């Protein structure tokens, strides 16, 4: 729980603005501690940060207060810089065209240029994620072969790994461990999230896919990790996931959160998860949770 002063510092909103928004619009419902002071949950802080960012872009708070968290996230995703967005779209189209014509060198060149021009957060959000989604859809429609899909995904994996390694060498903030549990082999989303964390100065330890919970926990304890981040994509792994997470949380001990991301999290019920587990729904929430970490 966070005090109103801590929330003000984390969101950039003054204490007076926070109180006014609560009184007029009921945008969050803080609890009270034993002394009667306002205290806020992490989810409240994330919502307030989104509201502040949206008002900074010119949206009236009266209308924003009526939006749910996902609607706010969608609004922020869709109101970026149009010329730069066009550049990002052009990178995606160029790489797709290279894949369509089996031109691996052109695919590599476009990725290299995108990495040079864009910060990791925008690179991931506006180039890599749309690219991989479109590649997957074209493969399902039979418009790309498995080899063409692998050409793009392998290139993305290689370049993101190189960027991650560069940032990790300069890391000055606490450690975060990235991995997937047994049977979960999809790692590109996890790898891109690791790159974003490393770009913000965190000491990222990327263990990759398909690791037993005990191995993840042992490694995280040894490096003093403040977070363990896992990717959940494959729906057929969901029946065994709660038990695996219980084991991981038990091995980790109290105080270390387990962040879960990926498409498979939509099939999880909150009551099935250990108290240490937090579902991170999108990239914006990941970035905001990282900003709230100490160190």
Task: Kindly report, as residue ranges, where domains of CATH 1.10.1660.10 are found in the chain.
Answer: 2-77
Q: Which of 290, 294, 293, 284 is nearest to 47 (CA)?
A: 284
Q: Tell me the pLDDT tens digit for each residue of 28-83.
A: 888 888 888 888 887 788 888 888 888 877 778 888 888 888 888 777 776 555 56
Task: Kindly report, as residue ranges, where domains of CATH 1.10.1240.10 are found in the chain.
Answer: 82-164
C-beta of residue 288 within 8 angstroms of C-beta of residue 69: no
What is the mean predicted confidence (pLDDT) over 101-114?
90
The beta strand positions in the chain, using DSSP E, are: 2-3, 31-32, 38-40, 173-179, 202-208, 227-231, 258-261, 277-279
* CATH number at 82-164: 1.10.1240.10
- Cα–Cα distance, 257 to 54 (Å, whole number): 28
Look at 257 and 60; give whichever has higher pLDDT: 257
* CATH number at 2-77: 1.10.1660.10
Q: Tell me the pLDDT tens digit for each residue of 120-162.
A: 988 999 999 999 999 999 999 999 999 999 999 999 999 999 9
- Cα–Cα distance, 75 to 29 (Å, whole number): 22
- Cα–Cα distance, 158 to 176 (Å, whole number): 21
pTM exceeds 0.75 for this model: no
Task: Kindly report, as residue ranges, where domains of CATH 3.40.50.280 are found in the chain.
Answer: 170-292
- Cα–Cα distance, 148 to 135 (Å, whole number): 9
Q: Tell me the pLDDT tens digit for each residue of 192-250.
A: 999 999 999 999 999 999 999 999 999 999 999 999 999 998 777 777 888 999 999 99
Look at 165 and 74; give whichever has higher pLDDT: 165
Question: What pLDDT score was predicted for residue 1?
Answer: 66
Question: What pLDDT score was predicted for residue 159?
Answer: 95
- Cα–Cα distance, 155 to 61 (Å, whole number): 43
Question: What pLDDT score was predicted for residue 236?
Answer: 74
Q: Which are the contacts of 76, defined by CB distance < 8 A and separation ≥ 6?
A: 50, 53, 54, 57, 284
* CATH number at 170-292: 3.40.50.280
């Amino acid at each position: 729980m966070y005090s109103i002063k801590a929330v003000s510092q984390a969101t950039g909103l003054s204490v007076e603005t926070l109180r006014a928004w609560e009184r007029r619009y009921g945008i969050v419902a803080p609890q009270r501690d034993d002394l009667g002071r306002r205290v806020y949950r992490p989810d409240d802080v994330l919502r307030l940060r989104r509201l502040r960012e949206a008002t900074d872009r010119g949206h009236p708070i009266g209308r924003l207060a009526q939006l749910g968290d996902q609607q706010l996230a969608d609004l922020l995703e869709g109101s970026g810089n149009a010329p730069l967005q066009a550049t990002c779209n052009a990178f995606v189209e160029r790489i797709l065209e290279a894949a369509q014509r089996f031109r691996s060198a052109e695919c590599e060149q476009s990725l290299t240029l995108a990495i040079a021009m864009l910060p990791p957060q925008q690179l991931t959000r506006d180039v890599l994620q749309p690219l991989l989604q479109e590649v997957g859809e074209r493969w399902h429609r039979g418009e790309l072969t498995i080899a063409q899909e692998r050409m793009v995904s392998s290139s993305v994996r290689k370049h993101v790994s190189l960027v991650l390694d560069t940032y990790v060498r300069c890391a000055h903030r606490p450690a975060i461990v990235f991995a997937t549990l047994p049977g979960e082999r999809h790692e590109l989303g996890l790898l891109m999230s690791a790159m974003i964390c490393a770009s913000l100065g965190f000491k990222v330890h990327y263990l990759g896919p398909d690791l037993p919970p005990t191995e993840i926990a042992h490694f995280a304890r040894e490096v003093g990790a403040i977070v363990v981040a896992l990717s959940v994509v494959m729906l057929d792994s969901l029946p065994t996931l709660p038990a695996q997470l219980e084991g991981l949380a038990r091995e980790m001990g109290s105080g270390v959160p387990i962040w879960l991301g990926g498409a498979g999290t939509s099939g999880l019920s909150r009551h099935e998860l250990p108290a240490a587990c937090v579902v991170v729904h999108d990239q914006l929430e990941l970035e905001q949770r990282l900003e709230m970490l100490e160190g």
